[in-house]
Structure 1
Amino acid sequence: MGSDPNGNNQESGTQIPASSSSIFRYNSPLVQVILIGLVSFCCPGMFNALSGMGGGGQVNSTAANNSLTALYTTFAIFGILGGGIYNLLGPHLTLFAGCSTYVLYAGSFLYYNHYQHQAFAIVSGAILGVGAGLLWAAEGAIMTSYPPVNRKGTYISIFWSIFNMGGVIGGLIPFILNYHRSDTAASVNDGTYIGFMAFMSVGTVLSLAILPARKVVRDDGTRCTNMLYSNVGTEAVEIAKLFYNWKMLLMVPASWCSNFFYTYQFNHVNKTMFTLRTRGLNNVFYWGAQMLGSVGIGYVMDFSFKSRRKRGLVGILVVSFLGTGIWAGALANQIKTPPKVLDFKDSGDSFAGPFVLYFSFGLLDAMFQSMVYWVIGALANDSEVLSRYTGFYKGIQSAGAAVAWQIDNHNVSSKTQLTVNWILTTISYPMLLVLVLMTVKEDKGEEQEVVVVEEPVKQVAPSSADNINNHHSNNGSDAK
């Protein structure tokens, strides 16, 4: 993956002639980010819509909670390993294997709709955790390493908007298919799961269109990787180093909490407070809010100030102030929980407050995660390094999610879950500020990264100790 067909190394920053000046070239970063956005639209986007209904669309949340616990347990492992696997297999095998597991997961709930046996849902959840770890490590590497240095926030927001359009469409599926069912209906119909499976199948095939980093050419003629040769031993060592990398340790609180709050939002706001059809409608706006949030924070991170470090600091502060206000609103809503389940047509003004809260949760989620991805992207520019960083982020994130779903399974009160989420997100902000202050350099310094290499150097022996040492020195550097 790290060399051309002739065995030559491709250095990050190596300038080569671009086949066309158009940003819509097939091998341009923009087109590739759009494609990975469409893959995510079809697979994790539809998964998000399914999860967002609460309980996987079922009346009893136990099967969904146990399935999601299994999912995020294996996701935690393969999220961390995913970066190394991506460096070994490349995007095609990694993404195709990952996407195919989403179809199985949706199918398990179609089965559960008829037989009420949760074993299949739990096993498919564990398998999806493996696939999701592969998909998100690849997606993170593409989203953070393919774009130009000074436009990473913009490209992240483009990806996040396309990805969350999947949640919008996915929210419309249960809303439309269950619209005329009685307000007391609690489990979605078969057509809902079949619709999800159809989209996920399309995403699986579309994943084969993603180009490896060595074939992606930015507008300035540079490629997106400086990979030499990768092997299992090298990846194992580099992944192990992440656990005592101070930059990754500062990111642990943000990683842990960034999916932790889904349990509260989906099961204790959307599922318990609204009718079935209203839950589908709420998800349309929840994921739509994610599109708005990602665009807003992307602008702050890329265009608000000339100084790159200042943009990062301001972006974190904006998210922290907004997040504090939204969690305060959640506490007020928790104290004044309405006496009956709300419906968007029948509940009048009492529907407005909880609806705005749920919409705001979507806004915060997108801004928080886009902010974290921007910070990760600021730590390096090489696809190989960033695949490991994003894999670590997703692994810790998934470990937190696995704990959160089991906490809910043990009937921990809504107010306690809300309080824990608020505390966890609050702790993460100062650590991210420290990380940006210590690692993010200004654009002027980054522009000096582009090095014109007249002739690529041939790799003599992929397994030689010298080459592995050189590989480590190139890829283990601090923030660019």
Structure 2
Amino acid sequence: MSDGQAEVEKFGSGSSEDSGSQRAEIFDRPTGWRAYYYHPAAQISMLGLVCFVCPGMFNALSGLGGGGQVNAKDQANANASLSATFAFFGFFSGTVNNVIGPRRTLMLGTWGYSLYIAAFLAVNIHAGAGDFVVASGAILGVCAAFLWSAQGSLMMSYPTEAQKGMYIGIFWAIFNLGAVVGAAVAFALNFNNTANSVGNGTYVGFLILTLIGVFLPLFMADPDKMVRTDGTRVNLVRHPSWKTEFLSLFVALKTDPWIILLFPMFLASNYFYTWQFNDYNGALFTIRARGLNNFMYWTSQIFGSVFIGYFVLDQTKVRRRVRAFYGWVLVFLMIFVVHTWAYFYQKTYTRSEEAMTGAYKIDIYDSNFPAHVWLMIFYGLLDSMWQTYAYWLMGAMSNDPAKLAVFAGFYKCMQNTGAVSVWAADGASAPYMNIFLSTWCLTVAGMIFAAPMVYIRVTDHTDIEDEVLMHIEGVEPIEPPVVVTTAHA
């Protein structure tokens, strides 16, 4: 057997009872208070709280534009370095997770968020600390890779097969509420702020919340002590080694090359945040208006995801192929509605004009604010619909966790590649209009490239050959591991 084939076969090592390769042993569930503490739903909720106070606060701070600063250059450069290190270290984070365990990996990932927010507090006190912000962004990229690796392994291994959708829903609801609450706190703390940048109290509040997140994993149960609701014990599946992951990328591309048509869509999935947060919200509004915009943006995300996910993509009364086209048309129309609307605003201001001392900033009491905040709401809807539809398309291509894990890897790699380029352009003070038009063109291109994949590749039912990631050169199919899914930093 070749080394490459041996590495691929490690996908199946330590497989769980869901694989069906062996009969699962049934264990008694804990009783008394332990029944609540060791219940998978309780542990998933605690996992959601960790992401509520760490990535949730990061999203709330990013949504303010420039990390709440007047000059967004440092934050743009920090996000560029964050995306670069996230893309690189995300490739190896699964191995770290296997060696030190999910709880330690989770704790290792959380402290980077505290460092990142502390850097903004430092630059608020000492204006010359911009390099610290950029360095903290690079460190956060490493930590975020670890956090989302541990999060994925826990979230996907605790529920039974019939509960995965519900448990993922519990996690994402709690996680997204973090950004909503963080945005609400920032808005309240800066309601009477006239400096156009958030005060130290906002950063201190966010820092305290993220520090709580660092210690929350200590109170979570050890995964090897967890018993699912059906009595089966949780056996965490080892992630592939780096060598296996390299080989699996080739195998996935060889067996399902249609995934390449989704790459432009993946590339755009974090690209549009730069213009939304820095070049629109950060450029045009007072700090309290930015806070309210941020709150409305993240709140609308919850409704947008539920709408396209439940009312469009999960309607079993309609064939899956038809639902796929419904979703494509809805997202495509939303792109043109939102960007046409935004264009009429963008052409009225430039970066140099907004950087001038005393430049007019839209406030919540101004007559033109309602129309502008509605644009932020629609951008939030578009973002959640885009992300939900992208994940749904990947899920429609296969039910094999091994293949879906590779697809998710493609997604995060392309996502962070796009983010690196646009944050770097924003940090280099590229014209707002250039960034806006590139965002519009990339989102349209993403959907156009995805269209033939939707037409040819999405079927009403997943074919049997899509259930398993096959070996090269006729080796027997491999048993799949648990899917590891990731998200925004």
- 1:186: Cα distance to partner? 2.5
State the partner residue of 2:422: 404
Counterpart residue type for residue 181 of structure 1:
N
Specify whether residues 264 and 216 from structure 1 end up closer, same or farther in structure 2 by C-alpha distance, changes over 3 A only: farther
Partner residue, 2:189: 177
Distance in structure 2 (CA, Å) of the matches to 1:213 and 1:250: 40
How far, CA to CA, are the matches of 2:324 and 2:161 in structure 1?
13
| Runs (5+) with no aligned partner, structure 1 | 1-6, 450-464
1:111 equivalent to 2:131? Answer no
Distance 1:295 1:248, change over 3 A: same
Residue matched to 2:330: 318
C-alpha spacing 1:174/1:50, structure 2 compared with 1 (3 Å): same
Give per-residue Cα distances to partners, 1:343-393, cap 9 Å, x unaligned.
Answer: 112x12x11111100111111111111222223344455655544432332
* 1:201 counterpart = 2:211: yes
Shift in Å at residue 175 of structure 1?
Answer: 1.6
Q: Which residue number corresponds to residue 261 of structure 1? A: 272
Mapping for residues 249-398 of structure 1, pairs under 5 Å: 249-299=260-310, 300-303=312-315, 305-336=317-348, 340-345=360-365, 347-348=366-367, 350-381=368-399, 385-398=403-416
| Letter matched to residue 272 of structure 1 | A
Aligned in 2, Cα 1:151/1:254: closer, same or farther, shift over 3 Å?
farther
Alignment of structure 1 residues 129-208 onto 2, 5 Å:
129-140=141-152, 158-182=170-194, 185-207=195-217
1:275 CA displacement: 0.5
The one-letter code matched in structure 1 to 2:479 is N
C-alpha distance in 1, partners of 2:251/2:378?
37
Q: How many angstroms apart in 2 are the aligned matches of 1:146 and 1:427?
A: 38
Deviation (angstroms), 1:304: 5.4
Is the alpha carbon distance of 1:214 and 1:178 closer, same or farther for their aligned partners in structure 2, counting shifts above 3 Å? same
- Assess, with a 3 A threshold, how the Cα gap between structure 1 residues 9 and 169 changes in structure 2: closer, same or farther: closer
Cα 1:405/1:9, change in 2 over 3 Å: closer
- Out of 114-123 and 152-161, give the one that drifted further: 152-161
The answer on whether the counterparts of 1:82 and 1:391 sit within 8 Å (CA) in structure 2 is no
Contact kept, 8 Å, 2:19 with 2:480, in 1: the verdict is: no
Q: Report what 1:76 is aligned to.
A: 87
Is the CA contact 1:146–1:383 (under 8 Å) kept in the aligned structure 2?
no
Indicate if the aligned counterparts of 1:378 and 1:440 stay in contact, CA closer than 8 A.
yes
Contact 1:75/1:399, CA 8 A, preserved across alignment: no
Whether the 8 Å contact between 1:108 and 1:121 is mirrored in structure 2 is yes
* Structure-2 separation of matches of 1:128 and 1:122: 10
Structure 1 residues 227 and 161: alpha-carbon distance in aligned structure 2, compared to 1, 3 A threshold: closer
Query: Structure 1 residues 153 and 364 mapped into 2: Cα distance closer, same or farther (>3 Å)?
Result: farther
Relative to structure 1, the CA distance from residue 81 to residue 228 in structure 2 (aligned partners, 3 Å threshold; closer, same or farther) is closer
Between the aligned partners of 1:421 and 1:249, the Cα distance in structure 2 is 20
What does 1:211-230 align with in structure 2 at a 5 Å threshold?
217=228, 227=237, 230=240
Q: 1:355 to 1:322 in 2, by over 3 A?
A: same
Cα gap change, 1:29 to 1:373, in 2 (>3 Å): farther
Between the two proteins, what is the percent identity of the paired residues?
37
SS of the residue aligned with 2:360?
Answer: coil
Is the 2:40–2:226 Cα contact (8 Å) retained in structure 1? no
Distance 1:149 1:413 in 2: 49
Q: Work out the CA distance in 2 between the residues paired with 1:325 and 1:144.
A: 36
- Does 1:474 find its partner at 2:486? no
RMSD, aligned α-carbons? 3.8
Contact kept, 8 Å, 2:73 with 2:428, in 1: the verdict is no
Partners of 2:95 and 2:239 within 8 A in 1: no
2:70 to 59, 72, 84: 59
Q: For structure 1, which segment, 229-238 or 145-154, has the greater mean C-alpha deviation from structure 2 after superposition?
A: 145-154
Residue 48 of structure 2 contacts residue 174 of structure 2 at CA under 8 Å; is this kept in 1?
yes
**Residues 39 and 229 in structure 2, CA contact (< 8 A), matched pair in contact too:** yes
